[in-house]
Amino acid sequence: MKFIRTFLVVYSLFISSSQVFANGFNAGVGLGKTSEFVFQTYKNQELISLRLLGAVNRAGLYHVPKDIRLVTLLSLAGGTTKDAEVEEIVIGNESKKTVTEINLYEAINKQVDKEYEFSSNDTIFVKHKRPFISNDSWKIISVISVLLTTALTAIAINDKI
């Protein structure tokens, strides 16, 4: 009887802890909403299609004027996320086989020699900052801590019963 009670207590602690950790892992990990945005057009204004991906609030396909600035494009996308690596924004074009890295701080402060001119079908990728400890490491640490807590709880219950 003593063993069954101990087992049930430990099992219930383990299940409840696992669910709490599982919910914690999924918090804030969902994919952002994609969007398609068409800029207001004026007569004889050429619109180009740009794909904006990565650490932005509304990633998606944007149809914007050819002379749009990077800062304006990011503003249309709701800005960058808090984990955006704005010093290394990558702009690539498959048809031209080009890749360019832009530092957003320099672009804002006009410290760049020339403003980047977008062309149709450019892909703009805003990198995410690398976390100090990866999600996989946190998962392993959490599982080990749950197992250790469960084992120590079982030992404490056995000593008191």
Question: How confident is the model at residue 41, as a pLDDT?
Answer: 65
Question: How confident is the model at residue 2, as a pLDDT?
Answer: 64
Domain ranges of the chain: 35-128
| C-alpha to C-alpha distance for 156 and 161, rounded to whole angstroms | 9
| C-alpha to C-alpha distance for 127 and 58, rounded to whole angstroms | 14
pLDDT tier, 35 (very low <50, low <70, confident <90, very high otherwise): low
| C-alpha to C-alpha distance for 103 and 156, rounded to whole angstroms | 56
CATH of 35-128, one of 3.40.50.800, 3.10.560.10, 3.20.20.150, 3.40.50.300: 3.10.560.10
Percent above pLDDT 70 for the chain: 73
Q: What phi and psi, each to the nearest 5 degrees, are found at residue 150?
A: -65, -45
pLDDT in tens, 115-127: 788 988 899 999 9
- Read off the pTM: 0.60
